[in-house]
Structure 1
Amino acid sequence: MRDMRSKLDLLVRGMTGLRHDGRFDEPNLDGTAGDYISFDSWEWPQGVGLYGLVCLWRHNRDPKLLKTIEDWYERHLRAGLPPMNINTTAPMMALALLWGETRDPRWETPLGQWAERLLRDMPRTPEGGFQHNVSDKINDDELWDDTLFMAGLFLAFHGRAAGRQACIDEAVRQFLVHARYLADPKTGLWFHGWTFAGRHNFAGALWARGNAWITVGILDLIENGGVGKPVEAYLLGVLEAQIEALLCLQAPSGAWHTLLDDPTSYEE
């Protein structure tokens, strides 16, 4: 246990100490410089990292870790948030989970406003899916795996914490619409994406990381999202089919190939 704690402490220090060195700039659509490296940025990698930190805090209740998380959010809210899209919603996911525990009044208004804008303004595909628009690209009429983790979980967590059933209902809708087009009934795996322009699954790419968003996302939606039993039963069936397929494709190293059904693709 002590060894595990020391490794987690090292991981937290490494994550919160990340700084951008200027080598990987990708300009955003609004002309600002993209930063997917530094812990100081507000983007999807930081959102995923913060979610891990909040989950760790829920387990260990470390006041120092809580202060690190709260200081990060306070600093960014004071400076002003970037334009809303799927990926810039990711940091809100961890904040919604945190607020559900602490009820800190600092977070209630920004969470509520972001959820309202997401419901009202996020571009939709046919059948009401969130179009996968991100900071550096508009993906017209496209559904991606990532959307469920980055934006679907936020709506569910916020809806449960705030008592807003409309948010939970929208999260459920997104999981169901995406499952309809991305879950492959033949293999049980999930395709990377779907485009309504041409109606296909992006060359049939079964992306490892995309499948990981789903494996984690379904479980976390059920555990923390307040969804009903029929939806829970349906999604667990989808998840079981996916996991059975994933176990058969695991490489000897314990990792998976980035294209799950292509053993010549790199492991990640």
Structure 2
Amino acid sequence: MLEIVEVQSKTVQKALDKVVNQLISLDQVDGKEFEALSVKEQQKIGFFSRDFGMKHWDWPQGIGLFGLSQFGSKYDSYIKSWAEEELSKGLPLPNINTICPLLTLMDYPEYEELCLKWVDEIISNFDRTKKNGFQHNTTGLTKDSLTKNPEQLWADTVFMTVLFLTKMGRKYQNQTWLDEATYQVLLHTTYLFDRSEGLFYHGWDFNSNDNVGNIFWCRGNSWLTMGIPIFIDYMGDLLAVGVRQYLIEIYKSQVESLVKIQDNSGLWHTILDDSKSYLETSGSAGIIAGIYYGMSNGYLEKAIYQPICEKSISSLIKKIDTDGTVLNVSAGTCISRNKNDYKNIIIKPMAYGQALMICALGQALLYGEGE
């Protein structure tokens, strides 16, 4: 049995090394095939040039840094050199997505001043929806502009912004930041979680008072499969017992539902409950990483979920090309009322595809070491 585990670990480690090397070297994609399309048409199919490689400061690169940070100080040199290069270019406007790199960079004293400045931006200047939620504003056509989504909450926000706020609140013992982070997690789960299906919708719109098409989007769900246990971990004993138990039960319900609709391959469809939508790698990897987080923290039973994870890890490794590129990753996905818009998102190599694969493979190895 030990020999089998060691062989599996070597296979996962080999795949992980390839994916990391490709993440670090991943460059701008050739977008000539989309040049004839208008900007609006490009965005509808997910072509956002800043999402592809590591030479930008936005959420895909932030997830990349987070994935690398799982391994202690191993990638410190790369992370700091990446940050210095991006700082030298001039940073984009603070928004829900551009906060994400700071989730990792806050661990380095060189960036303390920047992190404190952007926490103040979150608390003081971020647009709010009704009920005081963080409105999901993102980078616009240029890094000095914003795309605003009035009165909308998105599933992505918990991972992209709220985890940073939580981690900073814990580090600086700032109760205001911790209270705000807790409120945002509770608000987002309240408005995005479907109690009958046990899954999260992509978003909520306070203007139309609905879940914007009622789409159970794979990658959107993965942000919460990962985000909820990480939030609980960051909060530690500062999280009220009742809130902790509530979030664990929400998380467990989601994982149970995800497993029920998992494809036989071990992956998930980009629209979770629509088997005619394509199987999507990045969201599937995020879900598996999130399940490993749950097992590591004792929220999920090992006997039930470890075999599920191992099957999925084997399937995920098959989605890694010979050069380490993660395949079948959906491009940037705007919220929509039309299911076909999700099905028509293009498939391209993405920084976050590499990163979420790193999270899944990394958590599989770390979990195996902890047994």
TM over 0.5, shorter chain: yes
Task: Tell me which residue corresponds to 2:303.
Answer: none
Q: Using the alignment, how far apart are the partners of 2:29 and 2:200 within structure 1?
A: 34
Within the alignment, does 1:209 sit opposite 2:190 as a pair? no
Shift of 1:169: 1.4
Structure 2 counterparts to residues 111-150 of structure 1, below 5 A = 111-136=115-140, 137-150=147-160
Q: Using the alignment, how far apart are the partners of 1:157 and 1:109 within structure 2?
A: 15
Q: Is the 8 A contact 1:141 1:197 kept in 2?
A: yes
**SS at 1:143's partner residue?**
strand
Deviates most, 14-23 or 214-223: 14-23
Task: Identify which of 258, 261, 280 aligns with 1:246.
Answer: 258
Identity in percent:
37
Q: Using the alignment, how far apart are the partners of 1:118 and 1:83 within structure 2?
A: 12
Give the aligned residue type for 1:129: G
Q: Using the alignment, how far apart are the partners of 1:236 and 1:12 within structure 2?
A: 31
User: How many residues are treated as equivalent by the alignment?
Assistant: 252
Shift of 1:21: 3.4
Shift of 1:122: 0.6
Q: Using the alignment, how far apart are the partners of 2:51 and 2:132 within structure 1?
A: 29
Shift of 1:22: 4.5
Q: Using the alignment, how far apart are the partners of 1:213 and 1:134 within structure 2?
A: 16
Q: Is the 8 A contact 1:153 1:225 kept in 2?
A: no
Within the alignment, does 1:35 sit opposite 2:15 as a pair? no
Q: Using the alignment, how far apart are the partners of 2:93 and 2:272 within structure 1?
A: 33
Q: Using the alignment, how far apart are the partners of 1:132 and 1:85 within structure 2?
A: 8
Within the alignment, does 1:17 sit opposite 2:54 as a pair? no
Shift of 1:43: 1.1
**Which TM-score applies when normalising by structure 2?**
0.65
Task: Tell me which residue corresponds to 1:72.
Answer: 82
**SS at 2:27's partner residue?**
coil
Deviates most, 8-17 or 126-135: 8-17
Q: Using the alignment, how far apart are the partners of 2:277 and 2:86 within structure 1?
A: 38
**SS at 2:162's partner residue?**
helix
Structure 2 counterparts to residues 167-182 of structure 1, below 5 A = 167-182=177-192
Task: Tell me which residue corresponds to 1:259.
Answer: 271
Task: Tell me which residue corresponds to 1:30.
Answer: none
Unaligned stretches of 5+ residues in structure 2: 1-8, 41-47, 141-146, 281-371
Shift of 1:158: 1.5
Shift of 1:9: 2.1
Q: Using the alignment, how far apart are the partners of 1:225 and 1:77 within structure 2?
A: 29
Q: Is the 8 A contact 1:215 1:239 kept in 2?
A: yes
Q: Using the alignment, how far apart are the partners of 1:34 and 1:128 within structure 2?
A: 32
Greater RCO, 1 or 2 (C-alpha within 8 Å, sep 6+): 2
Within the alignment, does 1:156 sit opposite 2:166 as a pair? yes
Q: Using the alignment, how far apart are the partners of 1:6 and 1:246 within structure 2?
A: 28
Shift of 1:105: 2.7
**Cα RMSD (Å):** 1.8
Give the aligned residue type for 2:65: L
Give the aligned residue type for 1:256: W
Give the aligned residue type for 2:85: R
Superposed CA deviations along residues 152-197 of structure 1, whole A, max 9, x for unmatched, are 1110112112222222211111111111110011111111101011
Within the alignment, does 1:52 sit opposite 2:56 as a pair? no
Q: Using the alignment, how far apart are the partners of 1:254 and 1:8 within structure 2?
A: 18
**SS at 1:194's partner residue?**
strand
Deviates most, 68-77 or 12-21: 68-77
Give the aligned residue type for 1:151: T
